[in-house]
Amino acid sequence: MKRFTDQNYYELLDIPYDATQAQVESAHALAWKTYGPGSLTAYPLFSTEEQVLLLKKIDDACLVLRDIPRRKEYNESLTQADSSMIPRMKETKSSPPRLSPEEILKTEGITGAALSKVRELRGLTLSEIADKTRISVTYLICIEKEQFEKFPPDTYLRSYFTQYVRALSLDPKQVEDYLNAYDRWKEKKESSRRSGI
Domain co-membership, 140 together with 74: no
CA distance 116 to 28: 22
- pTM higher than the cut 0.75: no
Domain co-membership, 64 together with 148: no
The CA–CA distances, whole Å, from 88 to 72, 119, 123, 162 equal: 15, 30, 25, 40
Q: What is the pLDDT of residue 84?
A: 58
Using 70 as the pLDDT threshold, list the residues of the chain that sit under it: 1-2, 40-44, 82-98, 196-197
| 1 belongs to a structural domain | no
The CA–CA distances, whole Å, from 94 to 17, 26, 91, 122, 188 equal: 10, 21, 9, 19, 48
Q: What is the pLDDT of residue 94?
A: 47
By residue range, what is the domain housing residue 20?
A: 7-91
CA distance 173 to 105: 13
Q: What is the pLDDT of residue 172?
A: 84
Q: What is the pLDDT of residue 56?
A: 92
Domain co-membership, 17 together with 67: yes
Look at residues 61, 91, 121 and tell me which one is the last residue of a structural domain: 91
Domain co-membership, 150 together with 176: yes
Q: What is the pLDDT of residue 11?
A: 87
| 127 belongs to a structural domain | yes
Q: What is the pLDDT of residue 60?
A: 92
Domain co-membership, 17 together with 40: yes
Look at residues 60, 91, 122 and tell me which one is the last residue of a structural domain: 91
CB 8 within 8 A of CB 78: yes
